[in-house]
Amino acid sequence: MFSERSIDRRPIVAYERGRDVRSFAMHAAARLGRLTTWKNDDGEGHGHWRRRKAITRSSWRPQTRVMSPLVRPIVETNGELPLVDPEELVLRDGEVGPIARAEQTDTDIDREAWYLRAILTANVYEVAIESPLERAPRLSDRIGAQIYLKREDMQPVFSFKLRGAFNRMKQLTPQELARGVITASAGNHAQGVALSGQKLGCKAIIAMPVTTPAIKVEAVRRLGGTVELVGENFDATSAYAKKRAKDEGLAYIPPFDDPHVIAGQGTVGVELLRQLPSTEIVFVPIGGGGLAAGIAAYIKAIRPEVKVIGVEPAGANAMMLSLARGSLVKLSKVDGFADGVAVREPGRHCFAICQAMIDGVITVKTDQIAAAIKDVFGDTRSILEPAGAVAVAGAKAYCTANKVTGNVVAITSGANMNFDRLRVISEIADQGGKEEATLVTIIPEKNGAFKKFVETVGDKSISEFKYRIQDANARVLYSIVVSNQSEVEETIRRMKAQGFETVDLSNDATTQFHLRHMTGGRGKVDNEVLYKVEIPERAGALGNFLDFISPKWSITMTHYRSDGGRVGQVLFGVQVPENEREDFEKCLDNCQYSYDCLSDNVAFRTLFGNH
């Protein structure tokens, strides 16, 4: 027979008195009902982890805990994942996506125990710093909540990624370190592995896509990593790295889906609870899910009342869709604007933890991410990369929608920004901050109509303006400076009262990236269709695309703007008869570049005469 031993019910104040963090967390976990120990009748101790109901903090009596060794979590692999479109589930601003939670088992409880201990004993501070937690005064005043930034962008490699990479590599044997490590990454994880290899005296091979910007390749080389440029996308690069690891006996260091990587990232949660004990909500960016899983595993064990909310780009929402379905999915396409979190499928270990512990996931649009970069710059004079600002964008949206006034923390996860991207981000930041609206208005081409249009705009400052006559009407594409959405709606109302049809294109990505930079052209081109194609940023990639479609189909227009990313978003107008549409898209599939048909885009139909 077994008899339950007593549970410590002292007030949880040891942290403030300076008790060692590991001791505090273990005792706190026990007092919150996570950890109980058992002893049989002959006095032999057996450590066991069980979920208990909340207990009262009343009298207590001393005890000695005996904990058994904890087994590293194992997650089953179930073959190919179903492909889904990011648009399968679209959330409103600040809305938290649903979670289909699995019934809890003893395996889940054991997993929670393993992660808590692994996080508390993670070895990261030989390479990482305890990043500062800073209040964002201007942003807080505007939103109404007390917003704090956990500055992981201030790490030696300007990203949190070195925590998990180093902790994973510290688990390797001397023999494994002597053989070396390999990983696949186009950015921050690559630098984390390179720095960890340098610190441990270990050869680090970093496989990177051939489209990786030169600034990131050079950063890895400066840290002592051996760079291998392989493949045009991450899937091809990852396959190369895993095969080479197997062939040469190298240790493969996963970017996120590994328990020791997750535990290393979880040390961010340890720090922020110590730095701000009154934290109410933590917003965490999600790509593969390693950072969110690690932070949730710690915070929910120690302070279960603190909310942990993940944030993903709307076009890279693999974790949100997986949680909504209750099982892992793979995205059919992914928006690469926030390339540090542009992941097609979450990690299996990461998903298991998030499904059990996270409070939900919200999504943010590209313009909201750009606006968050601008907000952080306003408070800190630091420039985040898009992925590094995702959590800030989520905190803004959630706090505004839910009228939050308490203490919230947003993880600023990285600042490895390519300078070339600043131009594009600056242009769209005002849209995300609702400081500028882009409209298109159709006016009759007759004397006095344009003057009446300008008068109807009224006292709103025009920041951009394009005018082109097409047939009997003219299309005017323009941007006005506004302070809120009601001013946009009032402008549209005034235009329609004058008989000028007007459409708000502020949230239309195609307009913001392409159409607002194009003017004129003949309207109503026969059989014209519009496609956006992601073409790798390397010599010969555009020619490769044209080989598949030319000369069979005629190109009617193109537009391309470099944003400093690994792929270029190229807009193509093509003449394709309806009966050849299927053949055309087969050619696009064979090219193996991601594409979207935008022929039904309202801005395209309006501006180019197909309205």
**72 three-state secondary structure:** coil
- Interatomic CA distance for residues 147 and 134, integer angstroms: 9
Tokens of 344: 């097609």
pLDDT band at 6 (very low <50, low <70, confident <90, very high): very low
The confidence band for 431, taking pLDDT boundaries of 50, 70 and 90, is low
Whether 179 and 209 have beta carbons less than 8 Å apart is answered as no
Least confident of 31-45, 142-156, 241-255: 31-45
pLDDT tens per residue across span 80-89? 899 999 999 9
Rounded Cα distance, 112 and 592, in Å? 41
Per-residue pLDDT band at 440 (split at 50, 70, 90): confident
pLDDT value of position 552: 82
Q: What percent of the chain has pLDDT over 90?
A: 50
pLDDT digits (tens, 9 = 90+) for 141-172: 999 999 999 999 999 999 999 999 999 999 99
The reply to whether 159 belongs to the active site is: no
Question: What is the distance between the alpha carbons of residues 60 and 9, in angstroms, rounded to a whole number?
Answer: 5
Mean pLDDT within 48-68: 36
Q: In sequence order, which residues have a C-beta less than 8 Å from that of residue 439 and are 6 or more positions away?
A: 477, 478, 479, 480, 488, 491, 492, 495, 502, 503, 504, 505, 506
Annotated active-site residue in 382, 413, 479, 506: 413
Who has greater pLDDT, 538 or 177? 177
- Sequence-distant (6+) residues with CB within 8 A of 421 are 386, 563, 564, 565
Assign residue 417 a region (left: φ > 0; alpha: ψ between -120 and 50; beta: otherwise): beta
Cα–Cα distances in angstroms (integers) from residue 153 to residues 10, 382, 416, 417, 418, in the given order: 38, 9, 8, 11, 14
The answer as to CATH 3.30.70.260 being correct for domain 522-607 is yes
Q: E strands along 289-343, which residues? A: 307-313, 330-331
Query: Does 106 score more than 70 pLDDT?
Result: yes
- Can you give the three-state secondary structure of 98-115, one letter per residue? CCCCCCCCHHHHHHHHHH
Residue spans per domain, the chain: 2-49, 434-507, 522-607
Query: How many Cα atoms sit within 13 Å of 361 on the Cβ side?
Result: 32
Annotated catalytic residue: which of 161, 216, 460, 532? Answer: 161
pLDDT tens track for 195-231: 999 999 999 999 998 878 777 889 999 999 999 999 8
* pLDDT value, residue 329: 96
Higher pLDDT, residue 12 or 195:
195
Band of pLDDT at residue 516, cut at 50, 70 and 90:
low
Question: In the annotation, is 506 catalytic?
Answer: no
How far apart, in whole angstroms, are the C-alpha atoms of residue 383 and residue 376? 7
Q: In the predicted model, what is the mean pLDDT of residues 101-130?
A: 92
Element (DSSP H or E) covering residue 165: helix 161-169
Tokens of 555: 């190109």
List, in order, residues 6 or more apart from 447 with CB less than 8 Å away.
none
User: What pLDDT does residue 562 have?
Assistant: 64
How far apart CA 305 and CA 307 sit, in angstroms, is 6
At residue 77 the predicted structure's pLDDT band, cuts being 50, 70 and 90, is low
Spatial distance between the Cα atoms of 79 and 83, rounded to a whole number of angstroms: 13
Q: What is the pLDDT of residue 209?
A: 87
Instruction: Please return the burial class of 122, using the count of CB atoms within 10 Å of its CB with bins 0-12, 13-18 and 19+.
Output: buried
Tens-place pLDDT, residues 329-363:
999 988 888 989 999 999 999 999 999 999 999 99
575, β-bridge pairs:
528, 554
Nearest to 518 by CA among 577, 431, 440: 440
What are φ and ψ of residue 571, in 5° steps? Answer: -100, 130
pLDDT in tens, 518-532: 655 555 678 888 888
pLDDT score at 609: 55
**What's the rounded Cα separation, in Å, for the pair 395 and 309?**
9
For position 51, what pLDDT does the model report?
36
Q: What is the pLDDT of residues 381-392, one digit of tens each?
A: 999 999 999 999
DSSP string, 412-474: E-B----GGGHHHHHHHHHHHTTSEEEEEEEEESSTTHHHHHHHHHTTPPEEEEEEEEETTEE
pTM exceeding 0.85: no
**Per-residue pLDDT at 572:** 83
Overall average pLDDT of the 391-399 stretch: 98
Q: Name the CATH superfamily for 434-507.
A: ACT domain (3.30.70.260)
Q: What is the mean pLDDT of residues 487-499?
A: 91
Calpha distance 208→229 (Å, rounded):
5
